[in-house]
Structure 1
Amino acid sequence: MSDKLYMVVAWRIARLMRLGRTCPNLDASLLFETDEWKAAFILNKKAVPEKATRLNEVVRLMARPGGLLARKGDGELSVKTIWQGLQRVMDFAAGLGFAREFEHQCCV
């Protein structure tokens, strides 16, 4: 990958961390595509809401596959947990898209 692409990824993760702290009630659909925030709920075995919820909730759900334990005294999210969780959620979201595409191609 080029250095510019790494900078974009790092910027997005830092932005998610900062907005999750400063604007927790922001609508998650402003920063995530539908498949992305739904994938966060599915990976955490939570009921998927019909429309996007709060940004802080989605960011915390995305950080859980990255190692966040979500205990009361754990404090704020780290860049590392968001980064690792976001990788897994993005892969799963891509899988959701492929499954939807494959479903339309099959004639059973």
Structure 2
Amino acid sequence: MLGRACPELDCELIFEAREWRAAYLVIKRCPPPPVPPRLGEMVEWVAGLGGYLGRKHDGPPGPKAMWIGLQRLREFVIALEARDALAGTYV
């Protein structure tokens, strides 16, 4: 709900840096920038991971898409942490 009401906020108010960086890597397929994205953008990314298509006529993402997206995001964070542990670095 905060992402709808205040989409311009910094996403690090809600998400950890490793979460938004993992989402950026998976969705954009390039290294994340040093500045975190806006909260509204991060909510769209999480909803997209949960199956939300975001078409013009679609309403805002619902709880099911957000729940699935958050579960998938957590899996990506765990995978990246494991990768970085093997490489000796950290996201």
Pairwise same-fold verdict (TM > 0.5): yes
Which of 64, 74, 79 aligns to 1:90? It is 74
C-alpha distance in structure 2 between counterparts of 1:59 and 1:73, whole Å:
18
Structure 1 residue 23 displacement after superposition: 1.0
Structure 1 residue 82 displacement after superposition: 0.5
C-alpha distance in structure 2 between counterparts of 1:39 and 1:102, whole Å:
17
Structure with the largest fraction of helix: 1
Normalising by structure 1, report the TM-score.
0.74
Structure 1 residue 45 displacement after superposition: 2.8
Which of 5, 27, 34 aligns to 1:50? It is 34
Normalising by structure 2, report the TM-score.
0.86
Match of 2:7 in 1: 24
Change (3 A) 1:82 1:43: same
Q: Which moved more, 1:45-54 or 1:95-104?
A: 45-54
- The structure with more radius of gyration: 1
- On the 8 A contact 1:20/1:56 being kept in 2, the answer is yes
Counterparts of residues 3-42 of structure 1 (less than 5 Å): 18-42=1-25
Change (3 A) 1:29 1:76: same
1:104 aligns to 2:77 (yes or no): no
Sequence identity (%): 41
1:76 aligns to 2:60 (yes or no): yes
3-state SS of 1:35 partner? helix
Q: Deviations over 1:83-103 (max 9, x none)?
A: 001100111011111111111
C-alpha distance in structure 2 between counterparts of 1:56 and 1:26, whole Å:
8
Structure 1 residue 37 displacement after superposition: 0.6
C-alpha distance in structure 2 between counterparts of 1:25 and 1:56, whole Å:
6
Number of aligned positions between the proteins: 88
